Amino acid sequence: MDYNPFLPEVQADPYPYYAYLRQHAPVYYVPFGFWTLSRYDDVYFAFRNPHVFSSAVLVSAFIGDLNPFPPDAPMMLAADPPDHTRLRKLINRAFTPRRIASLELHIREVVRHLVAQLPARGEFDLVRELSAPLPIITIAELLGVPPERRDDFKRWTGAMIRATSGFTVPQEEREEIRRNTGELFAYFREVIAAYHRTPGDNLLSDMVRAEEENQTLTAEEVLSMAILLIGAGSETTTNLIANAMLALCAHPQQFAQVRAHPALIPNMLEETLRYDGPIQTLFRQTTQDVELSGTKIPAGSVVLLLVGSANHDERKFPDPERFDIMRNTEGHIGFGFGIHFCLGAQLARLQAKMAVEALLERFPSLARTDAPLVRIESLSVHGPKALPLVTTRV
Residue count of the chain = 394
* C-alpha span between 272 and 331 (Å, rounded): 13
Q: What is the mean pLDDT of the chain?
A: 89
Look at residue 332 and tell me whether its pLDDT is greater than 90.
Answer: yes
Look at residue 292 and tell me whether its pLDDT is greater than 90.
Answer: yes
Total domain count, the chain: 1
- Residue from 250, 248, 244 nearest 383 by CA: 244
Tens digits of residue pLDDT in 8-62: 899 999 999 999 999 999 999 999 889 999 999 999 999 999 999 998 876 565 5
- Which residues, other chains included, contact 110 with Cβ-Cβ below 8 Å and sequence gap of 6+? 134, 137, 138
Look at residue 393 and tell me whether its pLDDT is greater than 70.
Answer: no
Tens digits of residue pLDDT in 185-226: 899 989 999 998 998 888 888 888 877 766 677 788 888 888
- Residue from 152, 238, 240 nearest 190 by CA: 152
- The verdict on residue 3 lying in a domain is no
Minimum mean pLDDT range among 65-69, 172-176, 255-259? 65-69
* Cα dihedral 16, 19, 24, 27 sign: positive
Share of the chain above pLDDT 70, in %: 92
Radius of gyration of the chain (CA): 21
Domain housing 271: 8-392
What pLDDT does residue 166 have?
Answer: 65
Check: pTM over 0.85? Answer yes or no: yes
What pLDDT does residue 53 have?
Answer: 96
- The verdict on residue 58 lying in a domain is yes
Query: For residues 36-69, b (16+ Cβ closer than 10 Å) or e, as one string?
Result: bbbbbebbbbbbeebebbbbbbbbebbbeebbbb
Higher pLDDT, 217 or 66: 217
- The verdict on residue 285 lying in a domain is yes
- The verdict on residue 1 lying in a domain is no
- The verdict on residue 2 lying in a domain is no
- The verdict on residue 48 lying in a domain is yes
What pLDDT does residue 58 have?
Answer: 63
Neighbour count for residue 117 (Cβ, 10 Å): 10
CATH number at residue 206: 1.10.630.10
- Residue from 270, 274, 245, 224 nearest 365 by CA: 245
Contact between 241 and 143 (Cβ < 8 Å) = no
What pLDDT does residue 302 have?
Answer: 93
